[in-house]
Structure 1
Amino acid sequence: MNKLDTVRNLVKDFDSTSRLYQHLNKTTSYYGTDTLLTPAEIHAISLIASHSNINLSQLAELLSVTKGTATKSAQKLVKKEMIYKNFAKGSENIVELTLTDKGTIAAENHKTYVDYMEKQLIEIYYDISDQTTSDLVTINQRTTDFFNKLIRERESEVKK
């Protein structure tokens, strides 16, 4: 097999791996509770867990969504008994979010899962040579730069 064919196969494999990762990031899980959570929900729960008494505006900013979207997410999480919504002390319009016991369990199990995933990925890459590691970092950066360029081009095309 010549180099061009080898590179084409590598790109094809990268695409397959990327699709698997995208699929993984769309899957739901219980995270040790009796309630099925979407990736967006567990992400919000994790942010609430790591930011004591976060308000809706702060959550929206961290999620890169509108305050309205953050409010709807919070309402779903209240219904799922994952968080509490309460007015901040001394305020009648700032709503703070805190985890319920069930939300805390989900956040802790999600953290355990993320740590496990990181450990497994490190094991996959750990035994490769320093040169190969360096080459992969360079390839990843070049790929990221290329994808960002394509995104900017598409976004500027849409704005016209």
Structure 2
Amino acid sequence: MENNKNELILTKKLLDVIARFNESDRLVRNFGTDTALHLSEIHLIEFVGDHENRCVSDIAREKKITKGAVSQTLMRLEEKKYIAKGTDPENRSRVVVSLTEKGWTAYREHQKYHRHIDSLVSSCLDGKTPEEIKTILDFLAQLEHLLSCR
């Protein structure tokens, strides 16, 4: 009986944490620049920063999203001066994408945000044994797998 109660409490707590994280993640942020960015935009900036000089097709394939979605987001980012398009020196008919100075500022600020999240997780794990951490990791991996099978 007690185990069943704890499972219900854990489920509710997990859903509350997910909801709180989603609320925070949905906010538009400026990431150290003068222009607000949506989640899809900063994640594309992050990808371009990690993989400079890729074309739209490469980005779409690697991020597993449509070329149309990539193109639309890149268009918005170009208008906001976060990215620049150029010609691939190895294939003149191919357009590649790179970050502007403003794009690199947003990229670095987004990395700081990730380090902040890392520190929150780390503080929650302080004092936990390696076995306890492995149990948490196993639980999250199993839950992720079950959710991805739907």
Q: Would you identify which runs of 4 or more consecutive aligned residues in structure 1 move more than 6 Å?
A: none
Which residue number in structure 1 is paired with residue 41 of structure 2?
41
**TM-aligned CA distance change 1:62 to 1:27, over 3 Å:** farther
> Against the structure 1 CA distance between its residues 118 and 137, is the aligned structure 2 distance closer, same or farther, given a 3 Å change threshold?
same
Residue-by-residue CA offset, 1:61-97 (whole Å, 9 max, x unaligned): 2321122221111111010010111222264531111
**Contact 2:33 2:102 survives alignment (8 Å):** yes
Q: Does the CA contact (< 8 Å) of 2:29 and 2:37 recur in 1?
A: yes
Deviates more, 1:92-101 or 1:40-49: 92-101
Identify unmatched segments of 5+ residues in structure 1: 152-160
Counterparts of 1:63 and 1:141, CA distance in 2: 21
C-alpha separation between the residues in 2 aligned to 1:143 and 1:27?
A: 26
**SS of residue in 1 equivalent to 2:128:** coil
Query: Which residue of 2 is the match for residue 147 of structure 1?
Result: 147
- 5+ long unaligned stretches in structure 2: none
Q: CA deviation at 1:121?
A: 1.1
Radius of gyration: which is bigger?
Answer: 1
Query: What is the distance in 2 between the residues matched to 1:109 and 1:95?
Result: 27
> How many angstroms apart in 1 are the aligned matches of 2:61 and 2:109?
24
For 1:100 and 1:137, locate their aligned partners in 2 and report how far apart those are by CA, in whole Å. Answer: 37
Is 2:60–2:67's contact at 8 Å kept on the other side of the alignment? yes
TM-score by length of 2: 0.90
Match of 2:95 in 1: 95
**1:89–1:131 distance in 2 versus 1, CA, 3 Å:** closer
User: What is aligned with 2:74?
Assistant: 74
CA distance, structure 1, for counterparts of residue 145 and residue 96 of structure 2: 38
The equivalent residue for 2:120 is: 120
What is the root-mean-square deviation of aligned Cα atoms in Å? Answer: 1.7
Answer yes or no: is the 8 Å Cα contact 2:48–2:97 preserved in 1: yes
Partners of 2:118 and 2:39 in 1: CA distance: 17
Distance 2:142 2:50 in 1: 32
